[in-house]
Structure formats: C-alpha cells, structure tokens
C-alpha cells in the first residue's frame, strides 16, 4: 500500500536521463560530450516536455558536460527556460543523494526537472513510485535509456515531504530526434 502524503498542491518531479554521450579517448567521464544521436535526442526531449505541458519551474542538472548539453538543447525548445541549478552532487549520485538534493528545492516550485545519470535516476524513480499508471513501472524496470523522461506526481506542502513509495509514476517516454 502506498503511504499517504500530507495534503498539499500537486507537485511533479520530471526526471530526464541525459542524452546519449560520446566516448572520446582520453576524456574524463565528467567531461564526455553528447554523441551525434544525443545532440538529436536532447531537443526532442525538450519538445516532448513542452508538448505534454511538463515544463518545469526549476531544473536541477548534473555538472557533467553531457548533462549540461542535454539541458541546453532541451531548454532551447522553450520560449523562456526556467532557472537551472547545476549541482556537482548529482554527478554519480545514488537515489538517496538525488532525493536529498530534491528535498532542498523551494516550496514555491511545483514542477521540478532533474537531469542526471543512471543508475541513480532509475533507482530514484523506482524508489519514489508507490504505483504507476499503465505499464510505466515495468518500462522503467526494463530499461530507462538515454533521453528517457519519467514523470512522478504527488501532493505535498513541500519537497521535503517527498519520500519513497509516495509518488505516482504517471508517464514514461523516450523522445528520439530524427536523423538528417
């Protein structure tokens, strides 16, 4: 059974795994850029967020180059991108570390975008989802590929209240850009 949240406004945590990265020789992992496919898929993710009305009030983004480039290319698809916080703690973070960063988000934020890395983001989604619509949980359990987007919804007065099994996984999509 899913624990009940405290009464409060609807909040959405939109989790975006960074787009496909390249593996250039001699480049440290943190500095790896997007691959050509990632440069196509990141704008598609931005369009998907806009099309589904999942635009965030704030974005939290890993400082890794591939995550920052994903953010930049996705946000270019929106009229006015929201503020973004680049947080080194999100690079290589596990689910509890990601949740700790989310809990620091100001109460005024209703929709938060988190751009990070696997396995941490996938584990966070599965930890927070007490239930899922349709086959969303199975989709994430099977694979949460690059550029995948998951939307978790819950009611709460603040982000500090977000806890494991509290949210509903409402959507999972994997936007892909078209080859030129």
Per-residue pLDDT for the chain (180 aa), expressed as one digit of tens each?
344 545 789 999 999 999 999 999 999 999 999 999 999 999 999 999 999 999 999 999 999 999 999 999 999 999 999 999 999 999 999 999 999 999 999 999 999 999 999 999 999 999 999 999 999 999 999 999 999 999 999 999 999 999 999 999 999 999 999 887
Classify 65 in phi/psi space as left (phi over 0), alpha (psi -120 to 50) or beta: alpha
Q: Exposed/middle/buried for 33, CB within 10 Å: 0-12, 13-18, 19+? A: middle
Instruction: Report the alpha-carbon distance of residue 88 to residue 101 in Å, rounded.
Output: 11
């Amino acid at each position: 059974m899913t624990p009940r949240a405290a009464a409060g406004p609807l909040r959405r945590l939109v989790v975006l795994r960074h787009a496909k990265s390249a593996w250039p020789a001699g480049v440290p992992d943190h500095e790896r850029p997007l691959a050509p496919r990632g440069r196509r898929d990141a704008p598609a993710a931005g369009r998907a967020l806009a099309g589904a009305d999942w635009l965030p009030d704030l974005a939290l983004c890993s400082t890794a180059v591939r995550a920052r480039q994903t953010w930049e290319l996705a946000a270019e698809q929106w009229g006015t991108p929201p503020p973004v916080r680049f947080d080194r703690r999100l690079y290589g973070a596990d689910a509890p570390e990601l949740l700790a960063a989310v809990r620091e988000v100001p109460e005024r934020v209703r929709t938060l975008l988190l751009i990070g890395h696997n396995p941490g983001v996938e584990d966070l989604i599965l930890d927070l989802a007490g239930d899922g619509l349709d086959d969303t949980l199975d989709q994430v359990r099977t694979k949460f590929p690059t550029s995948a987007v998951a939307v978790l919804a819950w009611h709460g007065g603040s982000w500090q209240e977000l806890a494991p099994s509290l949210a509903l996984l409402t959507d999972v999509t994997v936007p892909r850009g078209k080859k030129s």
